Amino acid sequence: MKISIKDLEKLIKRALLKRYDQKETDLITDVVMFGELSGKTSHGIVRLESILSEIPKAKPRFIRKTKLSTIIEANSNPGMLVGPYAMGEVINIAQKNGFGIVGARGTFSSSGSLTFYLEKIAKEDLIGIIMAQSPESTPPHGGIQPMFGTNPIAFSFPTKNKPLIFDMGTSAISFGALIRAKALGQKIPLNVAIDKEGNITTDPSKAVEGATLPFDNSYKGSGLAMMVEILAGLWSGAWFTIHNKESGWGNLFMAFSPELLMEKSEFKQKINLLRETVRNSKSKDGKPIRISGEKTINTKDANLKKGYIELDEKLISKLKELAT
């Protein structure tokens, strides 16, 4: 079902204004809209019910500031509100000092697509790295008890045109994708999740009760998830996943100026050259190589140009219900 971008945005804001003020609503809406516009729908309107489900303890606070770093105490605010604050702060620090790092602790829901933040960091001519802790949903390799979140890690680099972005979850499927598949009555792909007994399942309801698998189903995937757990969680003061149901989740934002090591223009030119060299490398079918992150940004830009997107009627009905 077609819905105009303006109408979708209005419905999202109407729902959020029940719980948040206008500035907070605008910030969260930008992140949710990016999820829908870019095709990262597991970070879109399916997250609204969770965002509206908990009452924050207080406004987010900036604490423990140094010349190069800040910790944000989220006070049980949603990641999609705290994320924009962290992004703005890390950009400000890096522009002044060449490098910045911001940790956030105590968020209670997804920060949304990390590409949303990384595109903006790259547009400020900065290199970006973001990691996000999330509720336990993935076991270590060889286990069946969820111990880590889907724990994404992502990078962005400024170029002469669109930024180069790599954004990956350390699990084979995002928890948001399970929620969306369950809501729409769809199956999930094979070999991405298990039920609570440890059996492979394509039923999202059983997967929610069970676990998602590491992205490569090996020790490397669960090892990377643990590294994100340490940097985004422990280091930010959020503790680790199976013990932080009350304290909330952690996030880590880093930004670097290319000029720490070389001239900005030279760096951007070389990133462009690298991207085009990889794109034009030999493939079996003769087609150009797909570059990480381009589909997400191109989809978003194409949908903005069209002025509308296609949404399942069930999702639109649910959104209208939340907005009423």
pLDDT for residue 175: 83
Write down the pLDDT at residue 243. 65
Give the DSSP per-residue string, 189-244: -TTSEE-TTS-B---HHHHHHSEEPBTTSSHHHHHHHHHHIIIIIITTT---GGG-
Residue 7: strand, helix, or coil: helix
**pLDDT tens digits for 157-215?**
999 999 999 999 999 998 888 988 998 899 999 999 999 999 999 999 999 999 999 99
Q: Strand 164-168 and strand 61-63: pairing?
A: unpaired
55, pLDDT greater than 90: no
At which residue do the structure tokens 């910030």 appear?
27
CA distance 276 to 270: 10
For range 209-228, the mean pLDDT: 94
What pLDDT, on a 0 to 100 scale, did the predictor assign at position 209? Answer: 94
* Boundaries of every domain in the chain: 2-171+214-262+295-323, 176-213
Mean pLDDT in residue range 77-91: 98
- pLDDT tens per residue across span 99-150: 999 999 999 888 999 999 999 999 999 999 999 998 889 999 999 999 998 9
Q: What CATH number labels 2-171+214-262+295-323?
A: 3.30.1370.60
Of residues 247, 250, 215, the one with CA closest to residue 231: 250
Residue 179's pLDDT is what? Answer: 86
Q: How far is CA 106 from the centre of its chain?
A: 16
Helix (H) or strand (E) holding 37: helix 22-37
**pLDDT number for residue 224:** 96
Q: What pLDDT does 241 receive?
A: 63
pLDDT at 246: 64
pTM summary value: 0.92
Q: Give, rounded to a whole angstrom, the gap between the first and last alpha carbons of the chain.
A: 20
Contact between residue 36 and residue 293 where contact means Cβ atoms under 8 Å apart: no
Which residue do the tokens 């060449």 mark?
Answer: 98
| Average pLDDT over the chain, rounded to an integer | 94
The answer regarding whether domain 176-213 maps to CATH 3.30.60.50 reads: yes
In CATH terms, are 2-171+214-262+295-323 and 176-213 the same topology? no
Whole-number percent of the chain with pLDDT over 90:
85
Question: Is 262's pLDDT higher than 90?
Answer: yes
Which residues contact residue 302 at a Cβ distance below 8 angstroms, ignoring those fewer than 6 apart? Answer: none
CB 133 within 8 Å of CB 241: yes
Write the CB contacts of 134 (distance below 8 Å, at least 6 apart in sequence). 110, 149, 150, 151, 152, 175, 241, 249
